[in-house]
Structure 1
Amino acid sequence: MRPPLDDTALDTVFREAHTHYGFRPEPVDEATLRRLYDLLKWGPTSMNCQPARYVFVMSEEGKSRLLPALSEANRDKAHDAPVTVIVAVDTRFYEHMPKVFPSSPNARERFANSPDKASDTAWRNATLQGGYLIVAARMLGLDVGPMSGFDNALVDKEFFPDGRYKSNFLANLGVGDPASLRPRGARLAFEEVAEVV
């Protein structure tokens, strides 16, 4: 067993990390987003299927396309964040299976011929990859504000008009404004959520 990470790392990623509702006007460059992806891509997915897709919305033009789909409470958050990433699901992720999971030559057909299995696999694993994105962003020094509160159909129409990708959730990225933080909500105890059998 490897030694655990030190307390600074654990605090950064989990114990002292908060959802940020406001961000300082410090830009996030494309090189940082590439580093973010190059880190999160190593998180495991079933059969290495990697169904998440990402749109990093940074420009004013991009924000103008995204903001109308957001709830009123989320528009200012996304507008002010240097980056809002749309975490989406590739509904035909299995087309990449020969490349990402070559040890199973019939993996593509297994998913292509079983739409329910493909959908369950895509949504489960893309959501997992969205979690990796949050953790990786924090490890790179970014603050994160994940969001629901948007009209998926409008986002999909605007950003994924061919229907292949489906929006899952959004996350604002940048340097958080400490004044935007809210008191941390309670977490359930081990005994409330887990059992050892």
Structure 2
Amino acid sequence: MNVTTEQLFTEARTHNGFRAEPIPDATLRELYDLMKWGPTSANCSPARIVFVRTREAKERLLAGMSPGNVQKTREAPVTAVIGMDLAFPDKLPFLFPHADARAWFAGNEPLVEATAFRNSSLQAGYFIVAARALGLDCGPMSGFDPAIVDAAFWAGTRIRTNLVCNLGHGDPSKLFGRSPRLPFDEACRIE
């Protein structure tokens, strides 16, 4: 795989429209197999993903999307619902076997929630970079009703939706002009 910083960052864009080009299951598996290697605290890996592709699943998802996100989500070949598993400590004996990391979280729901949110957000970033490395375009969104999306995809679990990300091959005609970014001196300082 020959990936450039342009492909991952400087030339990559958030897409609002996608060509009607399917994404094979093998590509979705490859995407997960790349993103799962990104580091998380205590290797907790709380992200859980549902790849929404069927018409029936899309309709369930669309019921919870904000109006401005409905059409682009309908048209995307795949939409990833990226959740955070609040039961992630149960996986720590496997994921972090050299310490009793599960005990760190026992009875501390605020720590569980903060850790799940922080690390699943980090994993969502890895997800976007991995998708771009595989030649896919992304449209991450936070405009949705979490109660509706959770009920549609995570009912009966301790998983809660963190964000939603459309995937496919972007339609350049539907891109907005490139928005600016803060310069180093406004966003950073060195001490």
- Aligned to 1:131, the other structure's residue is in SS state helix
Counterpart of 1:146, as a letter, is P
Counterpart of 1:177, as a letter, is D
CA distance in 2 between partners of 1:65 and 1:117 (Å):
31
The one of 127, 131, 139 aligned to 1:133:
127
Q: How many residues align?
A: 190
The one of 44, 53, 58 aligned to 1:58:
53
The one of 12, 16, 26 aligned to 2:11:
16
The one of 58, 63, 78 aligned to 1:68:
63
Counterpart of 1:190, as a letter, is F
- TM-score, length basis structure 1: 0.94
CA distance in 1 between partners of 2:79 and 2:106 (Å):
31
Superposed CA offset, 1:45-83 (max 9, x none): 000000000000001111011101111111110110000
- Aligned to 1:69, the other structure's residue is in SS state coil
Counterpart of 1:133, as a letter, is F
1:99 is matched with 94
Q: Percent identity?
A: 50
CA distance in 2 between partners of 1:153 and 1:126 (Å):
18
CA distance in 2 between partners of 1:68 and 1:46 (Å):
34
Counterpart of 2:116, as a letter, is A
Superposed CA offset, 1:140-170 (max 9, x none): 0000000111100000111111141000110
Report the aligned-residue RMSD: 1.1
Judge conservation of contact 1:156–1:163 (CA < 8 Å) in 2.
no
CA distance in 2 between partners of 1:38 and 1:139 (Å):
12
CA distance in 2 between partners of 1:110 and 1:149 (Å):
33
The one of 2, 7, 30 aligned to 1:35:
30
CA distance in 1 between partners of 2:77 and 2:144 (Å):
18
Runs of 4+ in 1 over 4 A off after TM superposition: none
CA distance in 2 between partners of 1:71 and 1:96 (Å):
33
Q: Structure 2: 5+ residue runs without aligned partners?
A: none
